[in-house]
Structure 1
Amino acid sequence: MPIAHRHDAYEETIYGIEGVLSFVVDGQRRDVRRGEALCIPRGVVHRFDNFEAVDAKVLAIVSPGILGPEYFREIAAIANAAVGGPPDPAALAQVMLRHGLTPAP
Structure 2
Amino acid sequence: MNTYTYAAVSPPGHGTPAMAFGRHVIRMMAANTGGSLGMFEAFVSAGEGPPLHMHEREDEFLRVLAGHFGFWCAGDYVELTEGGCIALPRGVPHRFRNVGKTEGRLMVVVTPGGFESFFPIVELCKPETPEQIASVARDFGLTFPPEEEREVA
TM-score by length of 1: 0.77
Identity of aligned residues (%): 28
Correspondence 1:23 to 2:71: yes
The DSSP-based 3-state class of the residue aligned with 2:113 is coil
Unaligned residue ranges in structure 1 (runs of 5+):
82-86
Structure number with higher relative contact order (C-alpha < 8 Å, ≥ 6 residues apart) = 1
RMSD over aligned CA atoms reads: 2.4
CA distance in 1, matches of 2:70, 2:55: 19
2:99 alignment partner, one of 39, 51, 62: 51
Q: How far did residue 88 of structure 1 move?
A: 5.2
CA distance in 2, matches of 1:14, 1:31: 12
Unaligned residue ranges in structure 2 (runs of 5+):
1-48, 147-153
CA distance in 2, matches of 1:97, 1:65: 16
Q: How far did residue 27 of structure 1 move?
A: 1.8
Cross-structure match for 1:104 = 145
Structure 1 residues 34 and 94: alpha-carbon distance in aligned structure 2, compared to 1, 3 A threshold: same
CA distance in 2, matches of 1:99, 1:31: 27
The DSSP-based 3-state class of the residue aligned with 2:87 is strand
Structure 1 residues 17 and 78: alpha-carbon distance in aligned structure 2, compared to 1, 3 A threshold: farther
- Equivalenced residue count is 98
Q: How far did residue 5 of structure 1 move?
A: 1.0
CA distance in 1, matches of 2:100, 2:125: 23
Structure 1 residues 44 and 57: alpha-carbon distance in aligned structure 2, compared to 1, 3 A threshold: same
Correspondence 1:9 to 2:60: no
Cross-structure match for 1:84 = none
Which protein has the larger Cα radius of gyration, Structure 1 or Structure 2? Answer: 2
TM-score by length of 2: 0.55
Structure 1 residues 53 and 88: alpha-carbon distance in aligned structure 2, compared to 1, 3 A threshold: farther
Cross-structure match for 1:93 = 134
Q: How far did residue 2 of structure 1 move?
A: 2.2
Q: How far did residue 4 of structure 1 move?
A: 1.0
The DSSP-based 3-state class of the residue aligned with 1:42 is coil
The one-letter code of the counterpart of 2:80 is V
Runs of 4+ in 1 over 4 A off after TM superposition: 74-79
